[in-house]
């Protein structure tokens, strides 16, 4: 582990207890065991540190995702629309359920209404989901997995509904009502599974089966 990674993990540990707003650069330096001025050799500000933390933890979570990268080419040939969407959501939830990524997101969720930086990162994550969903739905349209509908509107409806259910699950986890996202030995919550089944029936195309 290099020094920047050590700083990121130390900051995550402090933020999980004190919140992002409650963590100072001096506290981070003390946690790492360096002098505060040395910390600025790696990150120019706390905002830069938090934003780099988001990118680092997200990339790390994607690489360690048990589902791994999805091969949509094979999916389009062999799987139904419902199966493709479930695989896509399962992969995404596998990424955000990573221990460190989940801890980071829980901290952001608790502060996004009052902290512009936390809100900005959550907006960026939502926009990533929207862009990935749009690309997926364009490909689904080309392979006639969905009917002749507005792919942009279908992707937005799908992504924002999934995002809202994930928000709901995250709130329940933060409230201590749940320990994980999934239901009944599945990484995907039942509400998402039910929505995908309904949505697939609504927009399924000629090659949906």
pLDDT in tens, 182-201: 777 778 888 999 999 999 99
Q: Tell me: do 23 and 78 sit in the same domain.
A: no
Q: Which residue has the higher pLDDT, 34 or 147?
A: 34
Cβ contact 203:146 at 8 Å: yes
Residues 80 and 36 in one domain: no
Instruction: Examine residue 72 and state whether it is found in any structural domain, yes or no.
Output: yes
What is the reported pLDDT for 69? 63
Query: What pTM, to 2 d.p., does this model score?
Result: 0.85
Q: Residue 209: inside a domain, yes or no?
A: no
Same domain, 27 and 68: no
pLDDT, tens digit (0-9, with 9 covering 90-100), for 3-21:
999 999 999 999 999 999 9
Q: Residue 22, class by beta-carbon neighbours within 10 Å (0-12 exposed, 13-18 middle, 19+ buried)? A: exposed
Q: Where are the alpha helices (DSSP H) in the chain?
A: 3-18, 25-32, 36-39, 46-63, 72-78, 81-96, 99-111, 116-142, 151-174, 190-203
Dihedral sign from CA coordinates of 103, 107, 110, 113 = negative
Domain that holds residue 27: 1-44
Q: How many residues comprise the chain?
A: 209
Whole-angstrom distance, CA of residue 181 vs CA of residue 196:
16
Q: Total structural domains in the chain?
A: 2
């Amino acid at each position: 582990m290099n020094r920047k990674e050590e700083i990121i993990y130390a900051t995550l540990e402090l933020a999980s207890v004190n919140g992002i707003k409650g963590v100072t650069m001096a506290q981070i330096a003390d946690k790492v065991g360096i002098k505060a001025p040395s910390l600025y050799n790696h990150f120019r500000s706390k905002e830069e540190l938090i934003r780099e933390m988001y990118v680092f933890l997200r990339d790390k979570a994607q690489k360690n995702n048990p589902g791994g990268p999805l091969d949509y080419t094979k999916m389009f040939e062999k799987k139904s629309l419902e199966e493709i969407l479930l695989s896509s959501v399962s992969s995404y939830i596998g990424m955000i359920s990573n221990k460190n990524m989940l801890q980071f997101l829980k901290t952001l969720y608790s502060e996004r209404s009052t902290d512009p930086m936390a809100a900005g990162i959550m907006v960026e994550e939502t926009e990533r989901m929207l862009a990935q969903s749009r690309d997926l739905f364009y490909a689904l349209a080309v392979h006639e997995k969905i009917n002749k509908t507005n792919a942009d509107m279908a992707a937005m409806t799908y992504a924002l509904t999934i995002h809202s259910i994930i928000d709901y699950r995250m709130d329940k986890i933060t409230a201590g009502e749940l320990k994980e996202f999934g239901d009944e030995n599945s990484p995907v919550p039942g509400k998402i599974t039910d929505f995908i089944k309904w949505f697939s029936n609504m927009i399924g195309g000629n090659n949906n089966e």
